[in-house]
Amino acid sequence: MASESSTVQRLFQTAKSYGKYLVHRYQKLHIYGKAFIWLIVFFYICTGIAVVVITPSRIAQFLYDKARSLATLKFGWLALAAAIICVSFPPLIGHTTLVSLCGFAYGMKGFLIASTASVAGSALAFTVLRFFFSDRIRQWAHHNEKWQALESVVRAKGLPLIILIRVSPLPPWVYSNSLFASIEAVSLWQFVVATLFIFPKLALHVFIGSRLAALSDGDQRSHMDTQTKLLNASLIVFGIALAAGASWSVYTLVHKHIRHLDGISPEVDELAAEALEDYDEEAPLLRSPVSR
């Protein structure tokens, strides 16, 4: 009983700390950032109402039918791959949704589409952003102490640290692409190699999409017994929980690791960690140019 109480207390403290962190990040946002957050909340409320009114089964069947239509097109996979490449450029979003759609439309075969397009899209975004905004990057680094610390840490620790940052869920996919394009110490080959390490996460999202497809089709559901339906639903819930838990664990690990790097002063470590935490607010490739 004591161990269970201790576990519950730790979970409560973790949830409390995470809640404080989210409130702190929200308070630091610009008025437009806060407005965007509330717009997203409003969108999800409207989506929830629509799901209740239309009914989940009808929505799921509609999505399944459209996904199957896409899968039967000769170049349907190419359209899906092109969409993944497009959302690799800021400020577009939707990478995780499109990866899950690969599984929804093609089953686990969709992993080949998702992985190839993700590597191609991220490499293209890295190259384009680095080529067109190299002057802004240098100017930003010259005026930003945190960025100088992040540059020095990445330069000192190299590929292993780049991989750790890449597999972290924050910053999100599109901002992670622009983040690495902003760090001159990161070369294209290092970035591509680090991107390969997100394949397990991509495979998990493709798997979740494939299980959702099985439950979305009324014909397939009608041929499933209750045990099979529960198994599929359990796999989906487990997959989502695993993805969320792993993402948070990796994020926490990365930031703890950066704050305690061997051979780097604590002050530089802390500034580098803060640069990563505040990247979505201070992104050098997403802000107006620094005045000379």
| Domain co-membership, 46 together with 122 | no
Q: Which among 39, 54, 69 is the end of a domain?
A: 54
- What's the token pair of residue 225? 């017994």
Distance (Å, rounded) from C-alpha 280 to C-alpha 25? 10
Domain assignment of residue 226, yes or no? yes
Based on the structure, what is the number of domains in the chain?
A: 2
Q: From first to last of its 292 residues, what are the pLDDT tens digits of the chain?
A: 555 556 666 666 666 666 666 677 667 666 766 776 788 778 778 877 876 777 666 766 777 777 778 888 888 899 999 999 999 988 788 898 889 889 888 989 999 999 999 999 999 999 998 888 777 766 766 666 777 777 788 887 888 888 888 888 777 888 888 888 888 888 999 999 999 999 999 999 899 888 888 777 766 666 666 776 677 677 777 777 776 776 677 767 666 766 666 666 677 666 666 666 665 555 555 554 444 3
Q: Give the Cα-Cα-Cα angle 140, 146, 148 (nearest 5 degrees).
A: 60
Report pTM.
0.72
| Domain co-membership, 137 together with 276 | yes
* Number of other residues whose CB lies within 10 A of the CB of residue 78: 12
What percent helix, strand, coil does the chain show, rounded to 5? 85, 0, 15
Contact partners, residue 112, CB within 8 Å, separation at least 6: none
SS (H, E, C) 154-198: HHHHCHHHHHHHHHCCCCCHHHHHHHHHHCCCCCHHHHHHHHHCC
Residue 22, domain extent: 1-54
| Domain co-membership, 1 together with 38 | yes
Of 69, 70, 90, residue with least CA distance to 78: 70
